[in-house]
Homo-oligomer: A and B are copies of this chain.
């Protein structure tokens, strides 16, 4: 679709079609009419349409970068000053998009926060409609217990806590650990769809196994247990381990070297985390992917309906957001609101985790993509 040079907008069209000035009598009647609308809890379309129905998505959220070097020390200070436990539930500090007027939202749909758990601390169990995941950019030593299954958290792992699963976290070590939480809190709040329930104060299973039971049952490629033939809304895999992600990306680049189609584009390997019972996204509202660019590689400039949050896992590069270039290093996070143009450029080998609300838009048929320089 064309988002090009056409400068026709509601405003320009209204200006061209300007109606004659009302007479004083008409103006008075009109004012009375608008007062009567207001008294009747009514609002006319014609005064609002330019804002309500713009020509292309015009988000209030803005592209923005948060630095890991800023985030982590603030989280550590919170670790010293703010207890974790029932009431506040989690020591999580949310990215608050500067365009979204004081809400703790990274984008209108997505929550992204750094969560910090001190040595031997426990975040108590609870459950909620909101879908959640964790991604670990550094550290280890915490187990998240999901519906009674203890799941070790280690660097590079992507871990699921789908809606309405009881979950808590406990740090089994003498060191603090911090990671990224991603949820659909803003969407669920907007849509008035959330339920919440408290669980136990301590996690229900304090064991510290290397792999979770969910992985032992489900994380075998292409194999499905006969005890699990019913498809599930959410992925039954609680943890997607770094060694698998890394291997998958490495193989894509090797296959590319050998002349076989495997990557998204030249020098750009990527995987999507999926629900093995359906092949689809891990949860109904959240898509998660991992991207690896070779040193020197770039992605095309693209616009998409829906928003996403990225975190650099390793390496150094830049993101160009609506024409503005930002250098990125390990742990840095940035958001891309709906229909804002982005592209990536790798200085070194460049590894990034991404999550987005794409499943919402695909399931409701609002998804569109525009790639600069292609006719589509």
Contacts and interface: CB of A to CB of B under 8 A. Distances in A.
Interface stretch (A8-16, A165-173, A318-326, A342-350): A8-16
Interface stretch (A136-144, A210-218, A308-316): A210-218
Given A54-B194, A338-B192, A255 B41 contact: no
Interface in A63-97: 64, 66, 70-71, 74, 77-78, 80-83, 85-97
Chain B CB count within 10 A is highest, among A30, A44, A64, A89, for: A44
B40 A90 contact: no
B89 A46 contact: yes
A277 B278 CA distance: 7
A185 interface: yes
A278 B365 CA distance: 15
Nearest to A291: B226
A45 interface: yes
A192 to B, nearest CB: 3
Contacts of A195: 1, 55-57, 368
A30 B315 CA distance: 34
A223 to B, nearest CB: 4
A14 B45 contact: no
A269 to B, nearest CB: 8
A74 B216 contact: no
A49 interface: yes
A43 interface: yes
A307 interface: yes
Given A53-B188, A227-B261, 10 more contacts: A22-B81, A40-B66, A42-B95, A42-B96, A45-B93, A55-B196, A191-B361, A192-B338, A213-B262, A225-B248
22 contacts: A30-B82, A40-B74, A42-B93, A42-B96, A43-B93, A53-B188, A61-B192, A213-B255, A213-B262, A217-B251, A217-B262, A220-B245, A220-B247, A221-B221, A221-B237, A223-B240, A223-B271, A223-B273, A224-B271, A225-B272, A284-B364, A363-B363
Interface of A: 1, 8, 10, 13-19, 22, 26, 29-30, 33, 36-37, 40-49, 52-59, 61, 64, 66, 70-71, 74, 77-78, 80-83, 85-98, 102-104, 108-109, 113, 128-130, 163, 185, 188-198, 213, 215-227, 229, 231, 233, 235, 237, 240, 244-245, 247-248, 251-252, 254-255, 260-264, 270-279, 282, 284-285, 289, 305-307, 337-339, 359-361, 363-366, 368
